[in-house]
Structure formats: C-alpha cells, structure tokens
Amino acid sequence: AHVDRVRRPLPPHRPRTLGAMDPFAPPTHDVQFEAPGWASDAAESLRRNGFVALRGAPLQRDLCDRCASSARERLDTLLPLVRARKLDTEKDACMFHELCKRMHQLRWDVRLPAPRASAPTLPGRSALPEADLAAWAELHAEAHRRAWPVLREVLGITEEQANIDIAGCVISQPGTSDQKFHQDGSREGFFNVFVPLVDVTAENGPTQFQPGSQAPVPTGGFAFMAAPQQHKAPHLKIGEVLIFDYRVRHRGLANSSESDRPVAYLVYTLPGCTDIHNFPDRSLFQEDDVPTNAPDDNTELDWVLAENLDDLAGLASSSSAHDVAEDKLSWWHQLQFQKRAQERLGVDGCSDDTEYREIRGASFAAAKPVPLLEPRLVCTSSSGMALIGAPGPDAASAWQLCGNALPEAAAPAAHCYCGYQYGTFSGQLGDGAALTLGELQLSSGGSLELSLKGTGINAVTRWWYTGLNGRKHLSMMVREFLVAEALFALGVPTTRAVAVVSGKDSADEKNSSCAVLLRAADTFLRFGSFEVTLPHGSGHHAPSAFDWRLLRCLADHCISECYQHLVGVEDPEEDDEDFRAAPRYHSFVLEVTRRTARLAASWQCLGAVHGMLNTDNMSISGLTLDHGSFAFLDHFDPNFARHAREPDSRYCYRNQPHAARWACERLAEALVPLHCTQIADMLREVTAAFDAEYSTAFDEGMRRKLGLREKAPRLVEDLLSLMERTDADWTCTFQALTNASSQDEAARELCRCCRAGAEDEWEAWLRQYTEMLASESTSWQHPGHAEGMLASNPVVVPREWILDKAARAAETGDFAEVHRILEMLTKPFETPTNVAEARPPSLARLDANTAGEVGAKAAEILQDADFWRRLCPELRVADAASEGACASVFEVSEHQVEMLRAAMKRDGVFALPTADLPWQVDLAKLAWSVEELRRAGWPPSFIWVYDEPWIMLAQLAPLLRDVLGSQPCFDVAASRVPPGEAGIAFHRERPLAGLKTAGITGEDVGFRADGTPAFASIWVPLVDVPQTGSCLMCVPRANDAGYTESGNLHWNADMLQHVRCLSMGAGGAGVMSHRLFHWSRKGDAVQADGTTAPPCVALSFAVAEDAFESPRLPRRMLPLPPPQLRVALAAGQALTRETAGSFSTEMGQLFWDCFLQCSEHFDHAYSSSVYMARPQ
C-alpha cells in the first residue's frame, strides 16, 4: 500500500499564535505539555517547523532508567561481536543505529496494548527478557499517550487507523562524530517520536534540525521547495518527548561526553504503510560511513555471528535455528583435506603477511581469505556440489562457500607462478585473487583440489595491476561460473565451478559488488608454475631461477597427480639418478602437449575462443582454465579475438591452435634441465606431437558434427570458408544441418543463419555434402545420419549476450535468472523454453515466419510495427485510438502556472504529484514492457517505439510550454535502475559553454530575460520511487554556486548540506533546469519484508528553446512520429546514452543501421553525435 493511495485530507484547524509571537513568524519549537491548547500549538509547530519538543511532565525517571539499563546491556552484548568483526563503532547515533538494524541486534519491536499494532517480527531477532519487555512496553505506551494528541491533529485520522511501525531504541556512543544533514523519508505522514533516557545536552549530541525544511503541504496539488531556516538543536531532559517529521532535514551532533546516550523512539505511519526508515546515499557521508557485513540469511544470523565468539556462546544456544542449521551444514566443516602440493612444493611466509613479495624456493605463499561482507549465495552447481560431497545443492551457506568459514582441515595458500603474456615473459605473477584449500579426499577414493577465487589480497597480489584488492567483480565470476559448467556439459575438459557468492569488500570505496567463486579440478597448476625457475637474466626475472630441485618437485607432483602412468618411466641403464629419470620428464612434456592439442581441437569444433592463452592460463592437466575471457562465436569470423586490442590477434580463433602449441614449446624449454634433450630436438618433437594430435582430434570432431563416417578435410575447409564469406552463425549452421531432412530444407535454414545473397554458394556446398553422404551409403533421411550430430552440435551455447544478461541479473540481485540460465546451459543439446536464447542477438526475438534474411535487411525488419507489437503486446504502435489520448492535456490555472514558474526560477526544479497528472496510459503496463524489452536484449530507450510515452509527452507539453516557454526537442530516453544501484552520477544536463561570448557579453544564453531556463528535462517514474529507491537528489539553485557558471559541475561539500530529494509515486513528474546539480541515490537492494526490491523504471524527455538547442526531429512529427522514426530515434539514443558494454557490438551495429536509414530526417548536430558513437 502506498501513501498516495491512503492519504487523507488534513482536517481544518484554527490559526493560532503561540504566545506573543507574530502570527506570520515561525512558531517556537517548544510547547509545554498539558498547558491550555498545548496539542494544537504543538501540531502547528510540527506542521511549520517539522519538529516540536514537549516540555514538562516527563516520563517517570525510574522507568527511563530501567530502559536505559536494558539498552546498555544489549549494547554490551553487541560491541564485542562488532569489534571481533572489525567494524568501527565510533560513529554518530544514526549510523550506529543503521549498523545495529542490519545486524538485527539492538533494534527490536515492542507490542503495545490494543488497539496499537506493531511491525512484523523479523526472523533472527533475539527476544528481550520479559521484565525488559514490560518496561519498554510501558515506556512506549507513555510516549504514545503524550505524542498522539499532537499527531492526531496533523494526520487527521483516528487512533485505530494509525500505525506504529517501529518501537525501539538507538544509542549514541561517546566520541562519535557529527552526522551529515539528511532526510529519513520523503513522503507526508511519517513521524518519529523520541524519548531521551538521559539528559540531552550539547555534550552528548542533540539532534539538530533545519526548521521548515520538510516539504510543505502541496498547494493546489503542486509541490515546490521552501528555503530552510536557521538550525535548531533542542536540549531535552530525561523523559521529555520530541516529535519530528520524517522529511525534515536533520543530523545528530557529536557525542563528546563520557557516557552513551540511549533514546527510545516510535515511528508513526499512515494506514497501510510500512516504515521507510533509511539514510541518503552513502556518497553524501564522509569516510566515517559504517560498513556492514552481516550474513543475509536471517535464519542463520545469530549462530553464524556467535560461532566465532566464545563469550557469545549463549546467544547461539538460544537460537532455535542454530541446531537445524548446524546439522545441515556440518558436512562442510568435516571435509577432509590433504596438503600434498604444499608439502612437496613448499609454502613461504605466514598467512598474516599480505605484503607483496617474491616467493623464492617455494610454489605457495601462506594466506587466508579476507572476509567477504554481506555474502549472498548467487548460484550453485548441483553436479559440482555433488562432486565435492555435498548432500544437496543447497547444503551450504554463502558464509561458508565464500571462505568466511573454512573447513577445519583446509590449508589455504596462494600459488606463485610466472608466465609469458602475449609472447613476453612477465616474471612473477601468481594467484593474487585466489587461494587453494588443498586436495579434498573424496569418498570414492580420489581427490580434487578446491580453490576460492576472489578472496582478497595476499602476498602475490599485484596491487598496481588488479586494482580490486584481490577481489573479482560479480559479473566476471558469474561469467566464469556459467562458462565452466557449460563446457563441462558440452564434454570439453575443464575445471569445475561449484558455487558463486556475491558480497562487498571493506576496502572498496566505491562499494561495488564483488564475488567469490568456488572451483574444483584435479590440479590448478599451470605451465607458468614451471617457469618460476627459468634462468632469465634480463628484464623480468623468475623468483626461483635455477632452482632445479623445485622444478623437479613440480614435475613429480604433476605426474603423480595427473599422469600416474608415467611414474615408473625411467632409463635402467643410467647410473646417474637425474639422467635415469629423464625419459619420464620427456614423456611428461609430450603427454601434456597431446592433451593440450586435444583441448584446442575441442574449442575449435565448438566455435569457441579462450581469449587469453598466456602460459599462466594453460592448465598442466589439459583442462580449460580461467574462463573470464572465454567466448563463443556468433557469426563466423576466424579473426575474432575476445579482446579487441589484442596485439596481432594473437589469440583469435584462427590462431588459437598455434598459440596453444607455442605455449607447449615454452613448457618444453622450462623442463630442459629434467628431460635433458637438446632444445631444438625437443621443440621439433613437441611441434610434431601437437600437430598430429590436433589434426586427428579436429578431423574427428568435425566428422561427428557433419554426421560422416569418414574424415572429409576438404569438405570441412570449404564449409568454413563459406561460413566466413557469408557471416554464418556457427552454432545455428550446424543445427540447420542436424535438423534438416532434405537438401532443400537445409538450404532454407542455412540462409537464415547468414547474410543475404548467399543462396547459390550454399546450394553448391550442399551438393558436395549430399554426394559425400551418398558415397557413405547414407542420406538426409537415413535414421543414423543425425544420431552422432545430435550429440555433437549443441542447440544452446553461452553466447555473449546470454552471459551479459545473466551478469546484469546478478548485479540487480535477480539470482533466479542466473539459476535459469545455468539450467539451460547445462542441457546444451535440448531446445530451450525460450528458443530465442539459441540464436545470435540479431535473431534473438525475430519471429521465424517473418524474419526472412537477416543480414542487410535487419534494420528494415526492426522497423516493422508488427514486430514491436509482438514484442510487447500490452502496448500500442501507431494505433488510431492514441490520437484521441494525446488531446487529453492537463489543465492548470494561471495562478498555478505562476507558482511553478517561480519555483523554477528560485530552485531550478519543481515537482508535479501523481494526483494532478491524469495520464491516459497504463503506467504499470509501460513499466512491465520495459522489463520485457530488457529480457529480449533491448535497451530501455526502445520503449519510445510505442505510442504510450508519446501520449504522455503530448499531455504534459502544453503545461511545460505555459510554465517554461519551451517545446519538446525529441531528447527522449528511458531508464531502468536495478535495486541496490545508483542510476546517474553527479551531473548537470547541459553546460553553459556560450555563457558570455562575443556579441552577447554579459548575457546568459542559458536563461531567458525572465529567468526561466532555455532547456529543462522531465523525469517521470513509472513505479513508486520512495527515498529507499533510486530517487533523484538535487541541490537547489540558491545553494549552488555553479548554477550560473559555465563549468559543468563546480560543486563543493557545502552544497551537500542542502540536498533535496525528489521521490514520488508512479506517474509524478520532476521538472529540472539544465543547470540543476542532480544525481540518483543508491536504492536498497532488499525491502523491509526481506524480498528483493523492484527496479526503478522511468521515462525522461526534454523541452528547449530552439535558439539554445535545435529539435532532433521536425516538430511537425508530433504528437505521434512515424514508427520508423521512433525506432531510429531510440537506436540513436541507445548509442549515445547507454553505457559501454550494455549491449553487444553486433547489436550496436544493428542500431546504427536503423538510424542510418532515417538519418536524413534528423538534425545535423544530433546525427553527428550518433555517428561518433557508432560501433567502430
């Protein structure tokens, strides 16, 4: 339920003068409790000031003392826990309270006598003793008795209708610092009642208010801002009552006394509403902002925190969830590990030493995971969890799987290795963001090495290189997780991904999402592991150069773990021990080479590109290692490289086998001291072994993909050449051959997978293919023809756009989408529920019956209105009824127009509430359709293809013309801000580059003579956007020194003392000058009920004076431009406004093609900006 839907009109009240004050002066913020007319006086003060203190007749002293003692006991329980988890408690009252709230320790609910209602009890919140509960209930009831007569007059509702959402306590610690000014809420009808349990003086940090800074009651339905008055900090005695509006700007002053300051509080809300207590964007606070790292699983909270603290054992035993959770998760702590690699290869230093250093004479550095803050389990692999012995896919918590609670027998250490990167030796590298836990002993008798990736800094973390303190981005870990499990399902040798956990890093000032990936493999040693002993004498050097003992230990360990058949290989005629073992190491090099060749062939047959074949990314056991750069081809391009700036396309698809062979040659060089073969001879053997193994494996793989019994290298060569010339999609091409029952059907399907005009070439190749089938006594219809092809040609592969979709979903907290994509990718030979996910981006949502040839005609198809109607069937495109809706404009009086114009001149912004904007569109359907577009891979700006946004623009344009004198300029956009993220950074819409130029000296070209701006942008949220969401924050003109200066930003810390919040219901509108300094705050990722918060979806458009900014399209196109121009405009906006990486290069090219077809209709300056943003 939302405030706008339940807000009741305030009852009329008689104007009063307080004491002998001027009736037009601000009322005093002090009122004597139970004096004649005290409730009405207090209500008037609350309306006008935003707060009021009730003096005299305080609550009973002994009751306040009992509750203060109870609060301190709770605090004494909490502080050891907080300190043990390295959280700084020397903060202001509210920030410390926020910490306590998130840890569910200090904040609690109290059930008051009927008919009072209390907030729902959250799981994991420890109960208070009965005696304490009785004291708190009595105290809150007494506070309510004093506050309610005042709030009754302000709220205009009965006592039975009001809510008390929160009843609890907050404590300000000695030595806290001042809090920044902020607003706890943004909507009318939310009030806080404070009762100090000690005297509140200047020493222990009273709350300072800006009287009148709360938004006033709207006049005529239009909200505008009022300037704040001088700061006030009421001093209170024990038991006196302070009431304040959630919207009033306030801050807690520093507690410089020697004791804490407990304050009881109540939060009142309107019917159907819930507490929206929150703080402004973290960026508004200085570095003393408090980090939190409580687990997100409330049912495990108490015991997880307590298990590391002996002095809080009682807390764990009191939690009913503890025993159940411990039984469920005990297997993790009982996992048995050995340390064979560490014992054989050596461990350097101690785990507490994280300073970067050279690791000499050893392969590992002692380390331990850096705790991950706020861990949340993103996804687990069912088969991966079973592999490590888990009783089920959900049998471990995020707290465990991210390394915050390691198995007892685990031995974490960071591996040190070197590597050739892009052909150049780079010296010491190492797992600067990963730790091995040792070899896990499996019940089957084998073993697996477990590794955690993204665990924070250690002794081999290269600070100057990673920039992430040993952490990994959540999006990257989701990609690695999905690609690893997809490759396993496709039958490609690979390391396994077990689970991925998201969280925060305390050292990350940007507070960006990071993640930890749990992996498994027979070993994580790589070619670079052997290069630590290379005798390089110039440039980068190896840390253990000439250490042949370590080199031999490395080789012996790998042979015993992964090449057991070579353990006994030796020359019995040799007396020298080193030379006797040489054949073993010689065979070891060749075996590694053959495995690597087969691995490269499997990549090539799938149309896959590893992307980073440096020797430090090449597994010694022939597995796919480090999947962050892995990619699958869409349209076949042999020169495709995962990294566009890769030198000489070294690791592109065409060169991939050569790069893998080159790495094998470097391994042979590194092992010269062991295999004792002349290097030239050894390199010839390696080359011959690799080429023979690769040729055999590739020919065999392509034979199975084509359903042939005999190898046909010439036919395959012709096919690949044809696919390159026609830009055929790799996966779809082989699917077409697999599913076709005749040559004609194959020709039709193949032409759908490539550019237009290639029919004759495909017909010619298909004739060769059909003849090949006939020579093997088979045909298209033969029952056995497609049998092998079905197991070799996947329907679904982890295409780039699918991985991007999963990564974006994870960033928004939509882990269910990651699970769904994992389920799809682990069944690669089955047709997915959404068949679009088996196609490249350009075919992703085109109907097969109408798509036809994609290539050059893609833009034409995209501008077909029927295509867009199918995409979002709830919306209209070029519908006749839309013209009538456009005529329903908003009517306002001249007085209201003058009010709004004055607000714009004074503040640079005004807001229009939902109640005064009767839109002729369904906002919920519009917001839902933006989600539909996103799921189909289209940026939000494409919502402007539909009629509904243009109807809204047509309805609002006359009002904006009357107020601002400007008209729409076709600068339209849409946004979708995921929960937990900030939508836009600090900025102004337009600079004043020509503020004072020749011929206009002294004249502001950004503003008219009457002070109205020549350009304004309008923000219309399609969903309710409270302050907890990604609402807009801004600094009013009067407090912004850079408003009329030509600089783009020009802001300072003092401006942040005057921040205003534009949060509103769905369909409200915020109108902002082009010079307004604004941004969007970071929204909460989780709502009060524990569910994921919805994304913030909004439209935006601009109005401008032609002399300031020309319209992008002729205004005669309004109110409903032709669909073709809408698509072209949306495509241009996507290219110029969307962030880099939000869509693929192929989609970007598609957008450019769409715009290019209609570019002659657009303003030249705008066309130039789109041209500059086109894909290069």
Cut 0.75: pTM above it: no
Average pLDDT over residues 413-436: 92
506 or 673, which is more confident:
673
Checking if the pLDDT of 301 tops 80, the result is no
Average pLDDT over residues 181-195: 78
Catalytic residue among 184, 547, 556, 616: 616
N- to C-terminal Cα separation, the chain: 49
Place of tokens 């590194």: 670
Q: How many CB atoms lie within 10 A of CB 1090?
A: 10
Query: What tens digit of pLDDT does each residue of 933-947 get?
Result: 887 778 999 999 999
The values of phi and psi at residue 743, to 5°, are -65, -40
Could you tell me the two tokens for 5? Answer: 């839907």
Assess whether 729 carries a catalytic annotation. Answer: no
Checking if the pLDDT of 736 tops 50, the result is yes
Rounded CA-CA distance 665/590 in Å is: 10
pLDDT given at position 586: 94
Rounded CA-CA distance 344/1090 in Å is: 48
Rounded CA-CA distance 101/111 in Å is: 18
User: Residue 907: what residue type?
Assistant: D
Q: Assign 425 to helix, strand or coil.
A: strand
pLDDT bucket at 921, cuts 50 / 70 / 90: very high
Rounded CA-CA distance 342/362 in Å is: 9
pLDDT bucket at 529, cuts 50 / 70 / 90: very high
Q: Assign 295 to helix, strand or coil.
A: coil
Checking if the pLDDT of 540 tops 80, the result is no
- CA quadruple 340, 343, 346, 350: dihedral sign: positive
Tell me what percent of the residues of the chain surpass a pLDDT of 90: 37
pLDDT bucket at 904, cuts 50 / 70 / 90: very high
pLDDT given at position 263: 85
Query: What tens digit of pLDDT does each residue of 52-96 get?
Result: 999 888 888 888 988 888 877 776 665 555 554 444 444 333 334
Average pLDDT over residues 528-547: 85
Place of tokens 């108490």: 302
pLDDT bucket at 3, cuts 50 / 70 / 90: very low
pLDDT given at position 165: 61
pLDDT given at position 643: 66
Q: Radius of gyration over alpha carbons of the chain, in Å? A: 34
For 827, the enclosing helix (H) or strand (E) is none
Q: Assign 31 to helix, strand or coil.
A: strand
Average pLDDT over residues 618-631: 94
Q: Which of 597, 720, 713, 721 lies closest to 662 in space, CA to CA?
A: 597
Query: What tens digit of pLDDT does each residue of 564-587 get?
Result: 999 888 877 777 777 778 899 999
pLDDT given at position 290: 30
Query: What tens digit of pLDDT does each residue of 1063-1114 get?
Result: 788 999 999 998 888 888 777 777 766 677 788 999 999 999 888 888 999 8
Of 226-230, 232-236, 376-380, 505-509, where does the model show the most confidence? 376-380
pLDDT bucket at 753, cuts 50 / 70 / 90: confident
pLDDT given at position 162: 73
Checking if the pLDDT of 114 tops 60, the result is no
Query: What tens digit of pLDDT does each residue of 141-172 get?
Result: 888 888 889 888 888 787 777 777 666 777 77
Q: Assign 401 to helix, strand or coil.
A: helix
Supply the mean pLDDT for the chain. 79
What does the chain come to in residues? 1176
